[in-house]
Amino acid sequence: MVSFALALAVFGSASAVFSASTPTDPVRLRDLVKRGGTVTGPVLPLNFPDPALILPNGQAPWYVYSTSSSHGKVPYATSHDFKTWTGVKGDALPNPGSWVSPLNPAVWAPDVRQITSTGYVMYYTAFSAANGNHCIGAATSSTPAGPFKPQADPIVCDASGGGIIDASGFEAPGGALYLLWKVDGNSKGKSTPIFIQPLGANGYTLQGKATQLITNDPVDGGIVEAQSLVYWDGFYYLFFSSNHYNTLKYDISYAISKSVTGPYTKVQAHTRHCSFQANAGPRDRKGPPSSTCWVDKYVNAVFHNDINGKNVSAGRSMWQITGLTLSNGIASVNC
């Protein structure tokens, strides 16, 4: 399960037109480094998969969080200028909770959201001790560094669909809070829909009903996952990864809507825009996994690439994008 940390310190938003046909070779994010673009990396040259980004109170330092590794359950690093990053500074979730299976206590694809000036919620995926399926948990802290304290039970599960993964939070205009997730249907040969559901003011109590936003189409290579929702200037941008994460086809696409609950239209942007809807790595590198965002006028984003340029076996290092532009439904990397 990968995570393109579209830790979009999103300072922007976009829209587009979906094409059911396979696109021509896109401009690949890492290739933009050679063209003088705004993609740089690796900025964390260590195993730091599925990075999630947050800018607490809108002021530096930035924080990034990763999937479990030898560095901890949820390792985190910081940066004061979004150029130079510290090494791993600590473990933000040393205890993922009693509901997590002791046979496999790893945590995947964390996402951290600031709910109040001193209140933070972390969403994360782990195996449930009760049924062995992936579920989503929530943990809270008064600081972005944690340690986050987990809730006693997972906040959402779906055993019939294959479990659920890749939780991400979203705050809509006006302050309404939402949780998004992917049904891990590909684990059972099923579809992989992405859902959204309202949250209470505490940032982790589900309310109302879940709404499906998108699901996988043939052009997606059988999978959509690792979603990150961003709002800017009238458009909701749903970034997501498609194709299998352990292949060089793994990429990042997006869909747009004028309503938080859809309907969403998948976007086929043109390469002349140096489109963000492109394979996130060159041919000799795997693209990124999931994503998170932080918004203003432009978007800052983080993602990961395979360290060995072939697959995830050697780990995944963090890269970043500065100045991702969202305009009239089109997301583009400045180049």
**Which residues form the catalytic set?**
50, 225
CB within 8 A of 38, min separation 6: which ones? Answer: 32, 321, 322, 323, 324, 333, 334, 335
Structure tokens at 196: 């959204």
170-175 own/partner pairs: CB under 8 Å, 24+ apart: 170/196, 170/229, 170/231, 170/260, 171/113, 172/231, 172/260, 173/231
Residue 277 DSSP one-character state: S
Backbone angles phi, psi at 57, to 5 degrees: 55, 20
H-helix or E-strand containing 143? none
Identity of residue 107: V
H-helix or E-strand containing 70? none
Q: State the pairing for strand pair 62-65/298-306.
A: unpaired
Output the CA–CA distances (angstroms, integers) from residue 167 to 197, 334, 335, in the order listed: 11, 28, 31
Structure tokens at 126: 């782990």
Q: State the pairing for strand pair 211-214/90-91.
A: unpaired
Identity of residue 314: A
Contact 226, 211 (CB under 8 A): no
Residue 218 DSSP one-character state: G
Distance CA 78, CA 139 (A): 20
Half-sphere exposure of 139 (CA within 13 A, CB side): 28
